[in-house]
């Protein structure tokens, strides 16, 4: 559990681990140089439960180094992520351990999430949780990983023996949890979910994804582009042309990192009759109903408006295209 200036929430987060039905666990709280009462609160809980909770204090350096230190100190067979402002429901650890014990293929397991923020003032987060809760199976997660992070990061439990230097968090101008997740899946590690709500995801005003430009949309698209290009190549489609679903300026801007990582788009696909038949910088815009042949094109959709990805997916599936081979949804 990385902890930085979480005095108002860390006791609740730790209590949610103390309340777990699974009792064979150790909680490592890594305090990242907090200048509030976080460390004192955790220290008091360590004194009450010295056999279960460890407090490690360090100078402030950020979530990447703090998380990697916690992973290095962990001694269990499995490592569960936890944030200092969230709540694990009582059966979380028990049910996630059971899934990993029963599987020979899964490297990580997540769960469904209850959004505990204000859906009015934080509608984007509530929408994301609803979307993520629909991505349950390993195949759901594999196909949706370039849309957004389909597994809220603090819900994850992973096999410790998979960790290594190449699978540690990296620091850079990108969302470290999303890059880490894409890198794990790029290594062939499978992830699925317990199909039950086992976690409460809170939304404090200090959440990094609200305040740090490493978590803005442009950073997400820069982060995913090289992994998407590798996934296209792994599917045996890197000799095809790239066609972008979405001819508007926002979609073209989102697609730019993929063009830089792979190739310049040969054309665009859209549903707007005002765009269809036109040319953008010498590249044609065609209808979603009449895309180029599958053997010619890989289609990547970058239309971010709600519901657009489903419309594009259903149209292409109806034409016999295969998601994850002939087309990808990336927004």
The pLDDT score that the predictor gives to residue 58 is 98
Whether 78 contacts 70, CB under 8 Å: no
Write the CA distances from 180 to 25, 74, 185, 215, integer angstroms. 24, 18, 9, 14
Token digits of residue 164? 């290594």
Phi and psi at residue 113, in whole multiples of 5°? -130, 140
Order the strands of the 297-301 sheet from edge to edge: 279-280, 283-287, 267-270, 241-245, 297-301, 327-329
pLDDT, tens only, 126-163 = 999 999 999 999 999 999 999 999 999 999 999 999 98
235-281 tens-digit pLDDT: 999 999 999 999 999 999 999 999 999 999 999 999 999 999 999 99
Q: Other C-beta atoms within 10 Å of 325: how many?
A: 14
Computed over every residue of the chain, the mean pLDDT equals 96
Beta strand 87-88 pairing with 190-201: antiparallel
pLDDT of 119 reads 83
Task: Tell me which residue of 220, 199, 209, 195 sits closest to 122, measured CA to CA.
Answer: 209
Can you give the pLDDT at residue 118?
86
pLDDT reading at 84 higher than 60: yes
CB 32 within 8 A of CB 103: no
Instruction: Report the C-alpha gap between 230 and 238 in whole angstroms.
Output: 9
Residue with tokens 């910088």: 281
Q: Residue 43: is it exposed, middle or buried by C-beta count within 10 angstroms (0-12/13-18/19+)?
A: middle
Read off the pLDDT of residues 269-288 as tens digits, 9 standing for 90 and up.
Answer: 999 999 999 999 999 999 99
Say if residues 265 and 240 touch (Cβ distance below 8 Å): no
Domains along the chain? Answer: 2-215 (3.90.550.10), 218-329 (3.40.50.20)
| pTM (2 d.p.) | 0.94
State the DSSP H helix or E strand holding residue 109, giving kind and residue range, or none if neither. Answer: strand 106-115
Question: Which stretches of 87-153 are DSSP H helices?
Answer: 92-102, 123-132, 138-144
């Amino acid at each position: 559990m990385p902890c930085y200036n979480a005095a108002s929430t860390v006791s609740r987060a730790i209590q949610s681990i103390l309340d777990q039905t699974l009792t064979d666990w150790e909680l490592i709280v890594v305090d990242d140089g907090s200048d509030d009462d976080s460390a004192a609160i955790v220290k008091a809980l360590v004194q009450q439960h010295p056999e279960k909770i460890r407090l490690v204090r360090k100078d402030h350096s950020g979530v990447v180094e703090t998380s990697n230190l916690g992973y290095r100190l962990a001694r269990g067979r499995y490592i569960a992520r936890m944030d200092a402002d969230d709540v694990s429901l009582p059966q979380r650890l028990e049910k996630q351990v059971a899934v990993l014990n029963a599987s020979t293929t899964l490297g990580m397991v997540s769960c469904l999430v209850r959004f505990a923020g204000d859906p009015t003032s934080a509608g984007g987060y509530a929408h994301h949780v609803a979307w993520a809760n629909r991505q349950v199976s390993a195949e759901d997660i594999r196909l949706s990983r370039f849309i957004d992070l389909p597994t809220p990061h603090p819900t994850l439990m992973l096999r410790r023996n998979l960790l290594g230097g190449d699978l540690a968090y990296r620091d850079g101008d990108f969302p470290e949890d999303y890059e880490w997740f894409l890198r794990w899946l790029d290594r062939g590690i499978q992830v699925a979910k317990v199909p039950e709500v086992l976690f409460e995801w809170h939304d404090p005003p200090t959440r990094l994804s609200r305040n740090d430009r490493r978590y803005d949309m442009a950073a997400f698209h820069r982060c995913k582009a090289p992994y998407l290009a590798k996934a296209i190549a792994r599917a045996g489609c890197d000799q095809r042309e790239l066609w972008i679903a979405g001819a508007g300026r926002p979609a073209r801007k989102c697609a730019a990192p993929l063009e830089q990582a792979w190739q310049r788009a040969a054309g665009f696909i859209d549903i707007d009759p005002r765009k269809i038949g036109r040319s953008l910088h010498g590249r044609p815009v065609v209808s979603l109903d009449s895309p180029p042949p599958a053997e010619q094109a890989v289609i990547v959709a970058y239309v971010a408006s709600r519901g657009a990805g489903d419309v594009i997916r259903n149209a292409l599936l109806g034409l016999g295209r295969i998601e994850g081979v002939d087309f990808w949804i990336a927004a």
